[in-house]
Amino acid sequence: MSVFAGRLIDIGANLTDKVFFGMYRGRQRHENDFSSVLTRAFDAGLEKIIVTAGSLSDTKEAIELCGTNPALFCTAGCHPTRCQEMQDNPIEYLNNLKALILEHPDKVVAVGECGLDYDRKEFCPPDVQRKYFEEQLKLASVVGRPLFLHCRAAHDDFFELVKKAIAQFYDGRQPPGVVHTFDGTQSEAQRLLNLGFYLGVNGCSLKTEENLKVVKSIPIDRLLLETDAPWCEVRPSHAGFQYVKTHPKIVRNCDRWQPGCMVKGRNEPANIVQVLEVVASLKDMSTEELANQVYANTTKLFAFSQ
């Protein structure tokens, strides 16, 4: 059992990824250790985990996975790099997403992961990304769920579409939501905060000294924490690593997997403690104080069934 006195929720973990079941690049490299991943997460102090979905098929998998544990919840949506798959029959695709959200109100807590990603335009052209981001902004307004947002190298278009959605779909009200894995500039952070969004922080938000300055400036009542596992760990090369105090036992290669150990390069929800430690140091707060504030932020944004 954890001796941690705070309360934690990981707002974004890709737990449908096959690496959590021992499969890497299509090959089974070690036994399915998903239950151990969850045990480590809860032992670290996590009470809930939001499983992120990036497509219709992901959403179905996430809902099924969340049905196995009362502490798991999920998003429903299409990642900007995967929006090409909506092109064949967008109406059917969106209706299927809507149906899944409405059929599982106790598990689907947000629409997303949706947004814009101009760093990876080779996967989906910007015009297609914009079209289906707008459709998902509309979907969120219809089903009454907050947004789980992605924005990479596309801030101007992102702001334009959100502002348009506020006028068209939200009757002038700011839509609730979080921009996850935020690693932008101070001015970009402020623009997002002015739209009413929370900012999600993980290891990728803590790479450089400039990142740390931006994170330090985020108001604590607008801050959420995540791992984006199995990616976005706090690496030794990151500026934020100097503040990490918790170092779990890790095997260097998945072929050398051992029960009870993490695998190098496979981030886990349990590592949210490292993100917490870095941000608490930047904010000059105790980890318990920061965790409880962020927990309150998270439960304010997402309506968990329990």
Q: What is the pLDDT of residues 201-252, one digit of tens each?
A: 999 999 999 999 999 999 999 999 999 999 999 999 999 999 999 999 888 7
For the stretch 77-103, pLDDT in tens is: 999 999 999 999 999 999 999 999 999
Q: Assess contact for 143 and 133: CB atoms under 8 A.
A: no
Any idea what the Cα angle at residue 63 is, between residues 120 and 36, rounded to 5°? 90
pLDDT at residue 258 in the model: 85
For the stretch 239-292, pLDDT in tens is: 999 999 999 988 878 878 888 889 999 999 999 999 999 999 999 999 999 999
pLDDT at residue 4 in the model: 64
| Torsion sign (Cα): 288, 294, 300, 306 | negative
Helix, strand, coil: what percent of the chain each, to 5?
Answer: 45, 15, 40
User: What percent of the chain is predicted at pLDDT more than 70?
Assistant: 98
pLDDT at residue 1 in the model: 40
Tell me the Cα Rg of the chain: 18
Residue 12: band (very low, low, confident or very high) from pLDDT cuts 50, 70, 90: very high
Structure-token pair, residue 11:
């707002």
User: What percent of the chain is predicted at pLDDT more than 90?
Assistant: 91
CATH classification at residue 36: 3.20.20.140
- Nearest Cα neighbor of 103 from 82, 74, 135 is 74
Identify whether 282 is part of a domain. Answer: yes
Identify whether 144 is part of a domain. Answer: yes
284 labelled binding-site residue: no
pLDDT at residue 253 in the model: 80
Identify whether 228 is part of a domain. Answer: yes
Burial label, 133 (beta-carbon count in 10 A; 0-12, 13-18, 19+): buried
- Is the per-residue pLDDT at 106 higher than 70? yes
Identify whether 226 is part of a domain. Answer: yes
113 labelled binding-site residue: yes
Identify whether 2 is part of a domain. Answer: no
Identify whether 1 is part of a domain. Answer: no
Burial label, 266 (beta-carbon count in 10 A; 0-12, 13-18, 19+): buried
Residue 110 is part of which domain span?
Answer: 8-301
Domain count, the chain: 1
pLDDT at residue 125 in the model: 98
Identify whether 3 is part of a domain. Answer: no
pLDDT at residue 256 in the model: 84
Identify whether 77 is part of a domain. Answer: yes
